[in-house]
Amino acid sequence: MDIRLTFLLGLMISSISALAQPDCPPAGQIIAQLAGTESTSYSTTASGAPLSMDVELVFIDHSDQGSWAADLAMFITSPNGTCIQFGGYNNPVDSNCTQLGNYLAVWPDWNTVSSGTYNATVDLAQSGLSGDGTWDVTIMNGFTSADAAVTYDASWSFNCVLDTTPPTILIDNCPGDTQVSDFCGSAGDLSPETLGFPSFGVFDDICPGDVDLDVSVTESYSQGCGQGMPGQPGGSFTIERTFTAVATDCNGNQSQASCVHFIQVDDLEPPALSVECPSDVTITLDENCELAYEALSPSSVGTPYAQAFDACDAQVDMSMDFYDQPATDDASGLGFSFVRQWFITASDDCGNASFLDCSQTITVDPGGCSYAPGCLYLDADNYDPSATEDDGSCTFSMNPTNPCPTDVDADGTTDTQDLILLLGNFSLVCGE
């Protein structure tokens, strides 16, 4: 059985933000309402040589005059005197600025009249922007026919280092292999909160303190023995618990690391067994002093009542065997008694077993029947008409009227002993 469960822990080391990289102009923002060709500027003092620029625009055309988000035009001047211009639709060209292209070149997906939020990245690697000093950023409504002002909420951040290296994830205190016994019976807690979490840390040379770290836990169950209760494993089983960390730096580089915690759960507890033995019984012989064998069978005189419960096994196997000890004869010669010993075993699917035994005394009472041993052979010298059972005591005399002449020893039966006597007297001459 393989059961997979996933828990999102939401362990956040830091969130990605628009903080400046080292030696790079800081992020900025302009919020303005501008009609066609109107502009506004933002200045800051910094150093660096940007390779790219991430731009986010919240655009609102209040008059629905047909303005596009793509009408936004931007101008950037760096401390070394370089000026670049990009975006816009039909805005005037500044001859002092290098043209990087209109909206088709920098944000072709913004050509819509719908108000909303739009994002784009502008390549500045060949722009020549650099220096230490004043950086100017200007935004303009680049649609000359926009008589009514639109709202631009423009924010940007510069990327001055080409970062393709993912952050490094550090793992400490990964839980070691764990063994748990009798989990079902103890109602133990196998959760990560109880058995332990690893510690995760991150390092990034470009985005220090600016890395997003998410940790998730995946569990795989391998069933061993025991049926368990509905919806959960039972008996003995193994949990392979994997902690996975995914780190994303401020430039979108991502790395992943994990550690595995093996949890072995063993069922070592035998079932709880209780037994009630059948009561002692007495069986009375019939008037002929006879007793059917079936009268002594367990189905006639009773079997033990046994119950078993196991916390890890919904169906416990039980077996019963019995042994009859040698009988003790009654003084009358007809009655007797013996002890029946019962052995009960309860075992679960993991091989754990419980054993109990009990005993039952069974007595055979002769009741009203009589027992008189004696000779029951009619032609015997000592025939006893009052006898109820032949005890082999018959005797016979040798006479011509013996109805059984082959019974030489007169014991009432012609057998091997008679043959031996005859052979011993072979060729003997009998007198008159």
Strand partners, 275: 306
Q: Which residues of 188-227 are buried (b: 16+ CB within 10 A; e: fewer)?
A: eebebeebebbebebebebbbebbbbbbbbebebebbbbb
Instruction: Quote the radius of gyration of the chain (alpha carbons, Å).
Output: 53
pLDDT at 203: 87
pLDDT at 231: 53
116-123 and 305-309 beta bridge pairing: unpaired
pLDDT in tens, the chain (432 residues): 333 333 334 333 333 333 445 588 999 999 999 999 999 999 999 999 999 999 999 999 999 999 999 999 999 999 999 999 999 999 988 889 999 999 999 999 999 999 999 999 999 989 999 999 999 999 999 999 999 999 999 999 998 877 788 999 999 999 989 998 888 766 678 889 989 999 999 988 777 777 899 999 999 988 788 765 555 566 788 899 999 999 998 778 899 999 999 999 888 889 999 999 999 999 988 777 777 778 899 999 999 999 999 888 888 999 999 999 998 887 556 788 999 999 999 999 888 999 999 999 999 888 777 666 778 777 788 887 767 677 778 888 765 455 666 666 666 677 776 666 666 666 655 544
Q: Closest Cα to residue 100, out of 112, 84, 111?
A: 84
Q: Closest Cα to residue 57, out of 18, 112, 100, 110?
A: 110
**Helix (H), strand (E) at residue 7:** strand 4-8
CB atoms within 10 A of CB 137: 21
Residues 311 and 349: beta-carbon distance below 8 Å: no
Residue with tokens 């362990």: 11
pLDDT at 55: 97
CATH pick for 272-365 out of 2.30.30, 3.90.320, 2.60.40, 3.30.930: 2.60.40
Q: Where are the domains of the chain?
A: 4-14+166-266, 28-159, 272-365
Looking at the domain that runs over 28-159, which CATH code has it been given?
Answer: 2.60.120
User: What is the token pair recorded at 416?
Assistant: 């091997």
In tens, the pLDDT along 96-108 reads 999 999 999 999 9
User: What is the token pair recorded at 256?
Assistant: 């992943």
Whole-angstrom CA distances from 154 to 10, 57, 64 are 31, 5, 20
**What's the DSSP call for residue 196?**
-
Alpha carbon distance 180, 243 (integer Å): 20
pLDDT at 342: 96
Alpha carbon distance 221, 190 (integer Å): 12
CB atoms within 10 A of CB 230: 7
pLDDT at 418: 66
Residues 207 and 167: beta-carbon distance below 8 Å: yes
pLDDT at 402: 55
In tens, the pLDDT along 301-317 reads 999 999 999 888 888 99
